[in-house]
Amino acid sequence: MKIDFDSLQEIFSSIKKNKLRTFLTGFSVSWGIFMLILLLGAGTGIENGVKNEFKSKATNSIMVWRSYTSLPYKGMKPGRLITFVDDDYNELKNSLRHVDHITGSYYLGRSNSVAYKNESGSFQVISSHPDHRYLERTILINGRLINDIDIKMFRKVAAIGIHVKELLFKKESAIGKYIIIKGTPFKVVGVFTDESSERHLSMVYLPISTARKIFGGENKMQLLMFTTGNATVSESLKIEKFVRERLAKRHNFLPEDKKAIYIRNNLEQFKKYINLFAGIRIFIWIIGIGTIIAGIVGISNIMLITVKERTREIGIRKALGATPLSIISLVLIESILITIFSGYVGLVAGVFLIETVATWMPPVDFFSNPHVNIEVALGAIIILGSAGVLAGFIPARKAAGIKPVDALMEE
């Protein structure tokens, strides 16, 4: 298509004559792009929020909590508390081929007095195995975390979250200092952070062997966690079934008793969310493109009206030697200009609103960092150009087919 200054002058003159009509038609395209960008940005924010919730745990992990039986079994009444022990941990560690990291946890409670010199605070204290760092994705800042030697030697050592360090030690280094937990001194060997969970920043980790020996936990655990390596969702479900059946046999409860132990398969949940958001994105594109199509139809109708109004002019042009291609170019360029300009306004408005929300909105659960990817913006521009061509195609063909004799007879 050849675009020259005279053609552009004619196009702008035509638009100027029908300002309100052009504005209302362009607004429908602008609104369609605006809503598409807004929905995609909001969808990304929700997706990021959900991913952040999984970020604090390994996505390929399975968590097993103890609970109470709800069904009778072999003469035993429901309501029995299932308590995990070291043998459960060892059996799962040795029998699950997909497992690459496994830990058991013994909780001292959510509110424990932790003190250093004249400073003190109430924090959650958890004792666990060294692999706990991989399950919770703990990020080390200073020192080290709990290791195998700490477990074997029953060492009185602790790794503390950054919030614990800031409250108890202020700007003083915490490594090598002793904190008092429930009247017992523990040497701080490491300080850690967590990029996704604020709650973990106020935790204290101890060797599970030491904590149970000092605080009377015997060989008990409340939680078992392990990763499933490169296992697929179907393989992880088989692992989940195996764990339930094995623990049911060890603790005398029915495998069908879902309340005896609670199992969370993070890989299965993560894949469900990923598939859900894929469906949401498709739905958003369908809605957005549907709205844009409505705008295209409006622009196409406007261009048909424009061609009808300029029938005599087009006939005279053809009588003077204008080719059908020049007529088609004139109509298509006008359609593309209206579509792209209107769509660009909607695109900019949508991105501006999304960026404003991302900048000023306080962080909330399940919604984080809404934004529009550059690929989406480029895709929207391509859609706009295609829409402009599509909107002007039928009117352009109609204009090219006008016969000069018929046009000159048009009132």
DSSP state of 130: T
**In this structure, what token pair is assigned to residue 342?**
């209107």
Q: What mean pLDDT comes out for the span 296-308?
A: 70
pTM over 0.75: no
pLDDT of res. 338: 76
d(CA 376, CA 359): 20
**Of the listed ranges 146-155, 336-345, 383-392, the one predicted with least confidence:** 383-392
Quote the percentage of the chain above a pLDDT of 70. Answer: 74
d(CA 57, CA 225): 10
146-160, 204-218, 314-328: which is most confident: 146-160
**Of the listed ranges 49-53, 84-88, 98-102, 216-220, the one predicted with least confidence:** 49-53
| Greater pLDDT, 300 or 41 | 41
- Which of 307, 309, 275 lies closest to 397 in space, CA to CA? 307
Three-class DSSP category at 400: helix
d(CA 136, CA 285): 36
Query: Are 160 and 143 a contacting pair, CB within 8 Å?
Result: no
What residues contact 97, with CB distance under 8 A and at least 6 apart? none
**In this structure, what token pair is assigned to residue 153?**
């030697």
Q: What mean pLDDT comes out for the span 295-314?
A: 69
Query: Are 198 and 134 a contacting pair, CB within 8 Å?
Result: no
Question: How far, rounded to the nearest angstrom, does the alpha carbon of residue 56 sit from its chain's CA centroid?
Answer: 13
Q: What mean pLDDT comes out for the span 235-245?
A: 90
Q: What mean pLDDT comes out for the span 276-295?
A: 76
For the chain, the average pLDDT equals 80
**Of the listed ranges 16-20, 166-170, 210-214, 349-353, the one predicted with least confidence:** 16-20
**Of the listed ranges 244-248, 351-355, 360-364, the one predicted with least confidence:** 360-364
pLDDT of res. 290: 76
Quote the percentage of the chain above a pLDDT of 90. Answer: 32
d(CA 328, CA 340): 18
Per-residue pLDDT at 100 exceeds 80: yes
pLDDT of res. 163: 94
What residues contact 105, with CB distance under 8 A and at least 6 apart? 126, 127, 128, 132, 208, 221, 222, 223, 224, 225
Give the pLDDT confidence of 176-203 residue by residue, as tens digits. Answer: 999 999 889 999 999 999 876 678 889 9
For the chain, the domains span: 5-54+271-409, 61-266
Query: Are 347 and 404 a contacting pair, CB within 8 Å?
Result: no
Q: What mean pLDDT comes out for the span 284-291?
A: 75
pLDDT of res. 15: 62
Q: What mean pLDDT comes out for the span 134-160?
A: 92
**Of the listed ranges 150-154, 185-189, 364-368, the one predicted with least confidence:** 364-368
d(CA 379, CA 335): 19
d(CA 192, CA 219): 27
149-153, 217-221, 325-329: which is most confident: 149-153
Label residue 270 by pLDDT band (50, 70, 90): confident
pLDDT of res. 38: 83
| Greater pLDDT, 402 or 351 | 351
pLDDT of res. 280: 77
Per-residue pLDDT at 278 exceeds 90: no
